[in-house]
Amino acid sequence: MGTLIQYLTVVSAIVLAVQSQPSFMEYIERRLSAFEDRITLWYDQTQRYSSEYREFKNQILALVDGLDKEREEQRNNLDIATSRIDRIERELDYLETRNPAPTCVEVDDKILEQTVEKAQEKKQKYNKVIECREMIANIKAMKIVKKLETTSGLWTKDLLSDSEKVYVFDGVGNDTVYEFARLRDLTDFSGLMKAKKIKLPYPWAGTGHLVYKGFLYYIRNEPQFQVIKFDLRNKTVTDSAMFPAEQQIPIYSLSPFNYIDLAADVDGLWAIYATKENENRICLARLDPKSLDIEQMWDTPCPIENAENAFVICGTLYVVYNTRLRSRSRIQCVYDVSDMVTTEDAPLVYFPKRYGTHSSIKYNPVEKNLYAWDDGYQIIYRLAMKQKSEL
- Digit-coded pLDDT (tens) for 173-197: 999 999 999 999 998 877 788 899 9
- What angle is formed at CA 264 by the lines to CA 161 and CA 124, rounded to 5 degrees? 115
Choose among 202, 313, 334: nearest CA to 268: 313
247 Cβ neighbours under 8 A, 6+ residues apart:
275, 276, 277
Mark whether 176 and 89 lie in a shared domain: no
The kind and range of the H/E element at 285 are strand 281-287
Per the CB < 8 A criterion, the answer to whether 168 and 195 are in contact is: yes
Beta bridge partners of 141: 382
Residue 360 lies in a domain: yes
Mark whether 155 and 217 lie in a shared domain: yes
Count, residues in the chain: 391
Q: What is the pLDDT of residues 92-114, one digit of tens each?
A: 655 655 444 444 334 445 554 55
Query: Whole domain around residue 16: which residue ranges?
Result: 1-98
Give the alpha-carbon dihedral of 252, 254, 257, 263, to 10 degrees: -50
Does pTM top 0.75 for this prediction? no
The fraction of the chain above a pLDDT of 90, given in percent, is: 51
Choose among 233, 225, 208, 226: nearest CA to 156: 208
The fraction of the chain above a pLDDT of 70, given in percent, is: 82
Q: What's the whole-number mean pLDDT along residues 259-265?
A: 96
> Which pLDDT band, with edges at 50, 70 and 90, does 285 fall under?
very high
Mark whether 237 and 308 lie in a shared domain: yes
> Which pLDDT band, with edges at 50, 70 and 90, does 1 fall under?
low
Residue 75 lies in a domain: yes
Judged by average pLDDT, the poorest of 25-34, 95-104, 224-233, 354-363 is: 95-104
* CATH number, position 364: 2.40.128.630
Q: Say whether pLDDT at 123 is over 50.
A: no
Mark whether 63 and 144 lie in a shared domain: no
Backbone angles phi, psi at 335, to 5 degrees: -135, 120
Mark whether 155 and 279 lie in a shared domain: yes
Q: What is the pLDDT of residues 291-334, one digit of tens each?
A: 999 999 999 999 999 999 999 999 999 999 998 777 889 999 99
